[in-house]
Structure 1
Amino acid sequence: MIGIPLFMAILETTHPVHLKPTGVYRALSSHVDWWIFLHVIQLVLFGLLGLAVYWLVSGIRGLAATVARISVLCFVIFYNAFDALVGLGNGILIKYTQGTAPEQREVLEKAIDAFWTSGIATLITALAVTSWLIAVFAAMIARAEAESKRWLVLLGVVAVPFGLFSFPAGISGTLVWWICVVGLGVVFALLAKPRLSTGLLTVAALLFASSHTPPWGPPGLFCFFLATLLVELNLEKQFAFRVQLARKSRA
């Protein structure tokens, strides 16, 4: 399970990127075969990524764990709907347009641009990203020690809207934005126990919420991989135990 985010992080580095509302056909036409193939694979991978989040709260009871489980189910549903609609849908349209006459192609290019920025696609994306953010932050709260849960809830109230609106607002990817993302990760890590996995999950949640494509998706997925690796190998608790032993031996 922990290998899925790492595999996705590597795979998403090959994802074609187009961020403008127009010119979709010309930007992606030369990559359309890989584009379609990649988005078919992603239908499976996003489901497995959701399963990885679900695994983080396996065996944990409580409100936060329940919220995480429900939210990650919504994430898989809405994110795959977004991937199928915007990814596969546009890929198929572009592939069809390649075989049309020039006068038809001009009309279809406008249709592809309209489909790319459609209100329905935007709504589904917002639902998917919101579900993702709530799922990951709820999982962090569920896994946290009791004394740090309150701080995580308060910080989550700030972090979730930041992750949701930074990309539509056009600040995602700016230097200030990157500083804010890393800063939130550090703050979460300092106020929570376990520290390192919480900080990594914070950065992972915010980066992937912006996009699964470069330059956000791959580092976000890699951070998620590192966090799940720490959890799986129980490294943070082992390190804390050794620190306690060292302190006792010195005393």
Structure 2
Amino acid sequence: MSIVKIKSTDKYIDTSTLLQQLVVIGSPFTLGLLEIWHPTGSPGQTAFEAILPQVDWWLTLHILQLPLFGLMALSVVILVNNLQGWAARISRVGIAFFIVFYTALDSITGIASGLLIRTAKELPPQVQTFVSQQVNLFLTDPIVGGATFSLVGILGALGWLVGVSAAAIALRRVGVPRLPVVLLILSGVFFGLSHTPPTGPLGMGCFFLAVFLISFPEAKLKSIRLHKKGMQ
């Protein structure tokens, strides 16, 4: 998506293709919707106990997340496509970190742990206890863990935060209105904190609203006019 401001007007020309619009609008909508039902467990539960009753959904969700994370990275790249300057360059570097490390995190702590739990579903309690310990090791590992701070998790989350925030700055520098810029930064913060609810869906919701306003600025102008007309 590239955005060109017409001189002496407040209009923006969205020169993206239909496919690009589907990517930047459809990806956050789909991912945000799915993340609403991301299993989180209850206080006092082990990861094994929380995931076991819904392990099939856990695996399905984390497999779907892999291409969707890739599409979200592509969405950010599309947003800064053809933009120059330090902010656009930083955005591309940040989002590269996101796609490498966040998908690795999803594969290890999501898919691998889910496969372990599903394999142990029909096994004796003693074996399930052992598997539960192995899953906890996955999730709390300082290198690849997803339940606590880990190297891979931090690099992936920071990649998203930096990539999206820098994209917002780059867009603001070419004249994109303040509201979608703020929404993009909020998306970087919320989704960077966690992709699980509530912050994950909130982050994707902010991203969706931001790209919608960028792609269809006339929709915002129309709503403002209708609001003012209703107040008269």
What's the TM-score bracket when you normalise by the shorter of the two chains? 0.7 to 0.9
Matched, 1:46 2:69: yes
Name the SS of the counterpart of 2:208 in structure 1.
helix
Partner of residue 233, structure 1 = 216
Q: Identify which of 130, 141, 146 aligns with 2:158.
A: 130
TM-score if structure 1 supplies the norm length?
0.72
Compute the displacement of 1:64 (Å): 1.1
Partner of residue 222, structure 1 = 205
**What are the ranges of 5 or more consecutive residues in structure 2 without an aligned counterpart?**
1-22, 145-149, 226-232
The one-letter code of the counterpart of 1:221 is M
Give distance in 1, aligned partners of 2:43 and 2:152: 19
**What are the ranges of 5 or more consecutive residues in structure 1 without an aligned counterpart?**
147-191, 244-251
Name the SS of the counterpart of 1:35 in structure 2.
helix
Compute the displacement of 1:99 (Å): 2.8
The one-letter code of the counterpart of 2:214 is V
The one-letter code of the counterpart of 1:9 is G
The one-letter code of the counterpart of 2:155 is L
Give distance in 2, aligned partners of 1:141 and 1:11: 28
Say if 1:235 and 1:215 are closer, same or farther in 2 by CA, change over 3 A: same
CA contact (8 A) 2:168 2:182 kept: no
Name the SS of the counterpart of 1:92 in structure 2.
helix
Partner of residue 83, structure 1 = 106
Say if 1:217 and 1:19 are closer, same or farther in 2 by CA, change over 3 A: farther
Correspondences of 1:114-129 after superposition (within 5 Å): 114-121=137-144, 122-129=150-157
Compute the displacement of 1:35 (Å): 0.5
Give distance in 1, aligned partners of 2:159 and 2:63: 21
The one-letter code of the counterpart of 1:127 is L
Compute the displacement of 1:69 (Å): 1.1
Name the SS of the counterpart of 2:41 in structure 1.
coil
Correspondences of 1:138-157 after superposition (within 5 Å): 138-145=166-173
Q: After the TM superposition, list the runs of 4 or more consecutive aligned residues in structure 1 that deviate by more than 6 angstroms.
A: 19-22
Deviates more, 1:223-232 or 1:18-27: 18-27
CA RMSD between the two structures = 2.2
CA contact (8 A) 1:22 1:113 kept: no
Give distance in 2, aligned partners of 1:82 and 1:144: 31
CA contact (8 A) 2:90 2:163 kept: yes
Q: Identify which of 62, 65, 86 aligns with 1:63.
A: 86
Say if 1:44 and 1:91 are closer, same or farther in 2 by CA, change over 3 A: same
Give distance in 2, aligned partners of 1:115 and 1:21: 18
CA contact (8 A) 2:162 2:188 kept: no
Name the SS of the counterpart of 1:119 in structure 2.
coil
Name the SS of the counterpart of 1:93 in structure 2.
helix
CA contact (8 A) 1:25 1:109 kept: yes
Give distance in 1, aligned partners of 2:218 and 2:141: 45
Give distance in 1, aligned partners of 2:31 and 2:170: 25
TM-score if structure 2 supplies the norm length?
0.78
Matched, 1:24 2:24: no
Name the SS of the counterpart of 1:43 in structure 2.
helix
CA contact (8 A) 2:36 2:201 kept: yes
Compute the displacement of 1:100 (Å): 2.0
Say if 1:143 and 1:125 are closer, same or farther in 2 by CA, change over 3 A: same
Name the SS of the counterpart of 2:36 in structure 1.
helix
CA contact (8 A) 2:189 2:203 kept: yes
Say if 1:20 and 1:72 are closer, same or farther in 2 by CA, change over 3 A: farther
Count of aligned residue pairs for this structure pair: 195
Name the SS of the counterpart of 1:25 in structure 2.
helix
Partner of residue 10, structure 2 = none
Of all paired residues, the percent bearing the same amino acid is 36
Compute the displacement of 1:202 (Å): 1.8
Name the SS of the counterpart of 2:143 in structure 1.
helix
